[in-house]
Amino acid sequence: MNDPIQLNFIQSKFRIASSLLIFAPIKTKFMSQKPVRVRFAPSPTGPLHMGGVRTALYNYLFAKKHNGTFVIRIEDTDQTRFVEGAQDYIMDAMKWCKMMPTEGPGLGGDFGPYVQSERKEMYRPYAEQLIENGKGYYAFDTAEDLTAVREQAKQMGMPNWQYNSVTRGSMKNSISLPQDEVQRRLEAGDPYVIRMKMPRNEDIRLEDEIRGWVVVNTNNLDDKVLFKSDGMPTYHLANIVDDHLMEISHVIRGEEWLPSAPLHVMLYEAFGWEAPKFAHLPLLLKPDGNGKLSKRDGDRLGFPVFPTNWTTAEGDVFSGYRENGYFSGAFVNMLAFLGWNPGTTQEIFPMDELVEAFTLDRVSKSGAKFDPDKTKWFQQQYLRAENNTVLAEILQKEIEGDYPIERLAEVCRLMKERATFVKDIWTEGSFLLERPTEYDAKTTRKKWKGEAENYITEFKTILSETEDYSAENIEKVFKDYLASKEIGIGQVLPQFRLVLTGKGMGPSMFEITSFLGKEETIARIEIGVEALRKNEE
């Protein structure tokens, strides 16, 4: 019951009134006096997918931008799909992304409770109000009745039977049954649901902040169940009642809810309430092809689709961005660009700049393709921009060995241009603090020959007589040596790197030498030369 109305349905039945778009005022829309209150309303049916995080983010940005309030409401009316731990997961993920709501479960606020199952008793009077004003009706059909009528319709070539203004007359409800029978059933406690009484052939119009005017004819809408026989409202009723009671000004949510929006507009009208503004965000598309991004794409192409790790009741772990080493700032920056752009070439936006730049009129209508490589690029940019001591503190927790934080910070400074994640700094740069035990075979084969050992030994003597170990001076000393011997850089530098680091590539050798200092440099050259000589024999 908590599912959106099928998207293919809306695609075939909706007319997006694009010609009316030009009349939609854009900039002035949010100047209204009503305070901005937006909500993120996840159902605790599992971990939050990237798309859900993006919805939360746009709500957060919109609220902050307009000095409004960001609410989180847990929509758990469908108890059959409830997943233990999902709510905690969602809250934790939002915290990691640094986009905490100010009202919600455990956060306080004047409009609580913020979990729908805790509001259970509130909904029935609203459902009954719809019956009283003729907008809703009781339906007594059992699950078996419904299966039978669907089956029958299928056999007659109508696979998509709907409970609607045409078919309701032949079903068991308070419209089709005599008044006294309805009364008798209610008094006898027969199970019933309350359905929306969709009018026939009316155009419902709604102006979506992103898509412009959307028009749907009620003949294409069914009589949705609003209140279930278990005494719980369905998503549609609870969502509208809560958005109204929580004084939500803008509903910003995924495109999959657009087909439900006309029903929601009708419900607001039925209650005589002012509807909030709607903004339906574009779908997230898989990196290859055009389909919707799914968990399976993540497994298939090797990237996380969840913000943080999620462990199922069976113990299966789905990996998250946090545990994969992404910084939340990079993840959030990347997500912000999935469906929005600032209209400039700037790509790096810390949260406060996103708040500043974000507007709904720059959110696109078309689906946003997720790009794992671009995601890594954002991470690289954030890593490079991060303070070296901060990086060192993260690194210290991830490695064995007790190194002074200042030394680790230097390692980070030297290595971060070559890394995507903090862990790469160590994979690539642990040699800075640990002497090499192996020497790159390819470099050895290609470069450790001829005069190599002689040059390195000579250069070692010069280094042992050098006092100034700044990178600039080491560079000068090195270049002077090349000039005095009239030899090229390729005859000494790769060999020097090999003995000092064991590697064929890496950051500036002058920086490395300066970092190691005289004693360590000389010791490493001696050990390296010895080892390579043995290697040759």
The residue ranges that bind ligand GLU (CB under 6 A) are 41-43, 75, 235, 239, 253, 257
Q: Is the dihedral of CA 412, 416, 418, 419 positive or negative?
A: positive
Which CB atom, from 81 or from 503, has the smaller least distance to ligand GLU?
81
Min. distance of Cβ 51 from ligand GLU in angstroms?
Answer: 9
Place of tokens 């994969």: 324
CB atoms under 10 Å from CB of 1, counted, come to 17
Instruction: Give dist(CA 388, CA 368) in Å, integer.
Output: 34
Instruction: Give dist(CA 235, CA 133) in Å, integer.
Output: 21
Which CB atom, from 162 or from 239, has the smaller least distance to ligand GLU?
239
Q: Which of 13, 295, 376, 518 is catalytic?
A: 295
Tell me the two tokens of residue 156.
């007659």
Let me know: does 225 contact 193? Beta carbons within 8 Å.
yes
DSSP E strands, 68-192: 69-72, 136-139
The DSSP secondary-structure symbol of 134 reads T
DSSP 81-97: G--TTHHHHHHHHHHHT
CA angle 432, 436, 437 (to 5 degrees): 155
Min. distance of Cβ 309 from ligand GLU in angstroms?
Answer: 21
Which CB atom, from 168 or from 253, has the smaller least distance to ligand GLU?
253
Let me know: does 48 contact 321? Beta carbons within 8 Å.
no
Which CB atom, from 86 or from 334, has the smaller least distance to ligand GLU?
86
Let me know: does 277 contact 29? Beta carbons within 8 Å.
yes
Q: Which element (helix H / strand E) includes 305?
A: none
Which CB atom, from 1 or from 24, has the smaller least distance to ligand GLU?
1
Min. distance of Cβ 42 from ligand GLU in angstroms?
Answer: 5
DSSP E strands, 183-305: 193-196, 203-208, 212-217, 225-227, 250-254, 277-281, 284-285
Which CB atom, from 55 or from 308, has the smaller least distance to ligand GLU?
55
CB atoms under 10 Å from CB of 302, counted, come to 9
CB atoms under 10 Å from CB of 342, counted, come to 17
Min. distance of Cβ 88 from ligand GLU in angstroms?
Answer: 16
Maximum Cα interatomic distance, the chain, rounded to a whole number of Å? 112
Min. distance of Cβ 52 from ligand GLU in angstroms?
Answer: 7
Helices (H) and strands (E) in the chain, counts: 21, 14
Is 295 an annotated catalytic residue? yes
Min. distance of Cβ 47 from ligand GLU in angstroms?
Answer: 13
Which CB atom, from 263 or from 330, has the smaller least distance to ligand GLU?
263
Q: What residues contact 411, with CB distance under 8 A and at least 6 apart?
A: 392, 395, 425, 426, 429, 432, 433
First to last CA, the chain: 76
Which CB atom, from 87 or from 444, has the smaller least distance to ligand GLU?
87
Q: Would strands 317-318 and 310-311 be described as parallel, antiparallel, or unpaired?
A: antiparallel
Which CB atom, from 259 or from 506, has the smaller least distance to ligand GLU?
259
Tell me the two tokens of residue 332.
């959030």
Which of 281, 300, 280 is CA-nearest to residue 289? 300
Helix orientation angle between 405-415 and 509-536, rounded to the nearest 10 degrees: 90
String of b and e for 405-430 (b: at least 16 CB within 10 Å)?
A: eeebbbbbbbbbeebbbbebbbebbe
Min. distance of Cβ 43 from ligand GLU in angstroms?
Answer: 4
Min. distance of Cβ 404 from ligand GLU in angstroms?
Answer: 49
Min. distance of Cβ 24 from ligand GLU in angstroms?
Answer: 22
Instruction: Give dist(CA 460, CA 478) in Å, integer.
Output: 10
Active-site positions? Answer: 295
